[in-house]
Amino acid sequence: MQLSALFLLALHNSVRGATVLAPAAKPTQFVTLDIVNGPVAPDGFTRIGVLANGTFPGPPIVATKGQTLVVKVNNKLTNDTMRLSTSIDFDGVFIDSDNVFNTGSPFVTTCPFGPGESYTYTLPLGNQTGSFWYHSALSVQYIDGLRGTVDPDDPLAHLYDIDDASTVLTVADWWHNTSTSGLVSYLATHINPVADSGLFNGRGRYNGGPEIEYAAVSVVPGKRYRFRLINISARSQFFFSIDNHTMTVIEADGVATEPHEVNILLIHTGQRYSIVVAANQAVGNYWINAVINNESPTHNLNLNSTLSRGILRYEGALDEEPQTPLTEGPTGTDAVMLHEWEIVPLDPIPAPEPDFNLTFNTFMPANITAWQINNISYIPPSVPTLVRVLQGETQQMDFNETENTFLFPTNKTIQVEIVDARNEGHPFHLHGMNFWVIKSNGSDIINTVNPIRRDVCNTGNGTIILRFRTDKPGPWSFHCHILYHFAVGLGSVIGAGLDRVGNVVHPTEAWERLCPAYDALPPGEQ
């Protein structure tokens, strides 16, 4: 199941066939998401998926800064070949300690809820702005389709003319088999499942499949567009570019950045970028290249990375595909690549000196499908961490070794060095807050003066260094955003000031009913 959603700091009247909007004057925005099983064929191959309001990607949610977002999720799932329970995570949306139970992290801050049940997430957006998304957080469920997009006075507004629901762009991987069967295969073969196709704005093609129409993005000559690009993949990274056009990066994972011009960028699972593109070329059709990177087609003959693409269509151009060749975008000396370590926040905040240092060595033993952090594979507890903390379990000895739970006092700075010895590439994501990226993959630069702040950072050959604050008491999930990796152990929990959680967290009765209801479900409905 997969769900994706974007929050935008703009108000609009419609959203690509689905309206999920509220007037600007209302302080609270109410949204309903019905999670259903239904046919879906983004690349022309029809299968049953897990869908939000019957669509893939799910409907965008457009909100404004300062609103409170109230999302009622109705679980209407019926297909027992996939997970029937669910839980929704709003990636990158900051949650304060008193609301930590609404983060939707199964068995960390909540229990999932079963078919026929509903749960309402209340999310005060405060002053946060940027591009975010929502998805199923239960096991590998969002592979089946439950993904969507979410975003809430922009100092960079002078750089663009258009920023609305039509400028939300998504890249995604897609499987013809269900997520549960893919996980069974992964456990048996030790081979990371490879997608059947890559999608741009919910459409793509695969080898031998039908030539379905590529998704087109319409632009008016002379206008400048803020495109909010979101990678809603389960595991794939994409090289993204637009033929004959440059891109000015002005946001990374909800953090506004100094304008930085490139013509190609690599976006990892869970990451978001806002890019400004000027429609300054001759009227016509131009390829949008969304090329899956580092996937082996020998593990899935359906995959053809050159077939995941879209069309930038100027007003007045013919309704046809570009006549230019399919390429992977700029290469060699023509490529001006986005490098993470070159991105500077518009509002730089120096990284504080660390009070504690933590090292994550990531590793998978030979012939065992189990990723490890420091020789331990994360296994979610049967009783969520937050439930136990509220019952008084706040010491290190209260947590099993397999929970990978690291406890720290409040108001401290933690430095985490993540070592990726196999050069596998793990997009690590922290719930509830951003981290400072002190050292990025691909660079030896150590930057504590004005490093980029974000909530997803990819590992690679060597070490990345992150710092974050424990200003928010609570258990916060910190994990690889490749769903198959997380499902087999590549996760952890940061316990910030757990002894103070009981003083600030007062969950609702609806939340307190989740775990007893889930525990009472037969195994086939969990």
Question: 128: domain CATH number?
Answer: 2.60.40.420
Task: Answer for the pair 358, 415: CB distance below 8 angstroms, yes or no.
Answer: yes
Domain holding 459, by residue range, is 356-519
Which of 131-135, 152-156, 501-505 comes out lowest in average pLDDT?
152-156
Q: What pLDDT sits at residue 191? A: 85
Q: What pLDDT sits at residue 164? A: 84
Which residue has tokens 């006075």?
153
> 128 pLDDT exceeds 60?
yes
Structure tokens at 120: 């309402």
Per the DSSP assignment, residues forming a β-bridge with 240 are 265, 290
For the segment 216-221, the average pLDDT, to the nearest whole number, is 98
Last residue of a domain, one of 342, 374, 392: 342
Structure tokens at 239: 């090289």
Which of 28-42, 273-287, 343-357 comes out lowest in average pLDDT?
28-42
Q: What pLDDT sits at residue 153? A: 60
Structure tokens at 144: 């089946």
Residues 302 and 211 in one domain: yes
> 387 pLDDT exceeds 50?
yes
Structure tokens at 204: 């793509």
Cβ neighbours of residue 289 under 8 Å, at least 6 residues apart?
239, 240, 241, 242, 243, 309, 327, 328, 329
Which residue has tokens 């131009």?
286
Separation CA 196–CA 44 (nearest Å): 11
Last residue of a domain, one of 154, 185, 212: 154
150 falls in which pLDDT band (50, 70, 90)? low
Residues 319 and 375 in one domain: no
Residues 327 and 361 in one domain: no
Which residue has tokens 């997608």?
195
- Chain mean pLDDT for the chain: 90
Residues 217 and 248 in one domain: yes
Asked whether residue 292 is assigned to any structural domain, the reply reads yes
Percent of the chain with pLDDT over 90: 75
Residues 46 and 137 in one domain: yes
What's the total number of domains in the chain?
A: 3
Q: What pLDDT sits at residue 351? A: 98
In the chain the first and final C-alpha atoms are separated, in Å, by: 14
Q: What pLDDT sits at residue 144? A: 52
Q: What pLDDT sits at residue 189? A: 87
For the segment 366-382, the average pLDDT, to the nearest whole number, is 93
For the segment 259-282, the average pLDDT, to the nearest whole number, is 97
